[in-house]
Chain A
Amino acid sequence: GNSVTQMEGPVTLSEEAFLTINCTYTATGYPSLFWYVQYPGEGLQLLLKATKADDKGSNKGFEATYRKETTSFHLEKGSVQVSDSAVYFCALSDLYGGSQGNLIFGKGTKLSVKP
């Protein structure tokens, strides 16, 4: 079945450091890929998405490129801030051409950024 694997956390970085959170997936067909972020005490927010191979999603300085050849969607940011501290989830959907009605999530990676 479809699944998402992302790197185990927690990840602790100093402010302005470079961030990479690895995500790989297994899916039949052509899934759409997402990164969600969950701040403490809040629900999930969509951070970025990509709907086809070689698409790059970007938002708030974060980027991820849909790599079909390596079945990956790694999240990167060039310079993290304390306010980026949160849990990050990689997810895929392969229904209805990319429906967000049924998402398959990775286990999440907790990021802590120290000043």
Chain B
Amino acid sequence: KAGVTQTPRYLIKTRGQQVTLSCSPISGHRSVSWYQQTPGQGLQFLFEYFSETQRNKGNFPGRFSGRQFSNSRSEMNVSTLELGDSALYLCASSFTGTDMNTEAFFGQGTRLTVV
């Protein structure tokens, strides 16, 4: 079956702009989580969505937001981009996010560069 798909794979934006990243989870998965990966801070949790509701949120400013649609696809948005937002953004999906017998599957990520 198809894996987690993130689009686009690469993105270059200018400071002050906004950006929207997309994540299509594995069919049947209802939990989608987003992570930011940078060389300095490593992997940091942004937020998790389940059944169109944000279930958990990490420690990021309000410029970072997300949503989930009825088909479980998720988008994250970053407004007023800063140079420090340059990172690899990873999406992970799992069936429920709460069952230890199911695995979280990661996409290949979207590489965002802010110039």
Contacts and interface: CB of A to CB of B under 8 A. Distances in A.
Contact of B42 (A41, A43, A97, A106): A106
Contacts of B44: 105
A89 B37 CA distance: 12
B97 A101 contact: yes
Interface residues of A, number: 26
Given A45-B106, A101-B50, A101-B104, 13 more contacts: A42-B108, A43-B105, A46-B103, A95-B98, A96-B97, A97-B100, A99-B98, A100-B102, A101-B56, A102-B33, A102-B56, A102-B58, A108-B43
A90 B58 CA distance: 18
B42 A100 contact: no
Per DSSP, chain A at the interface is loop
A106 B42 CA distance: 7
A95 B100 contact: no
Contact of B104 (A46, A96, A97, A108): A46
A108 B41 CA distance: 10
Nearest to B55: A101
A100 B92 contact: yes
A103 B100 contact: no
A51 interface: yes
B18 to A, nearest CB: 24
A108 to B, nearest CB: 6
Interface of A: 32, 36, 41-46, 49, 51, 89, 91, 95-108
Interface of B: 4, 31, 33, 35, 42-45, 48, 50, 55-56, 58, 90, 92, 94, 97-98, 100, 102-109
22 contacts: A41-B108, A42-B108, A43-B90, A43-B92, A43-B106, A43-B107, A43-B108, A49-B100, A51-B100, A97-B100, A99-B97, A100-B97, A101-B56, A101-B94, A101-B104, A102-B45, A102-B48, A102-B56, A102-B58, A103-B33, A103-B43, A103-B45
A102 to B, nearest CB: 5
A68 to B, nearest CB: 17
B25 to A, nearest CB: 12
Contacts of A102: 33, 45, 48, 56, 58
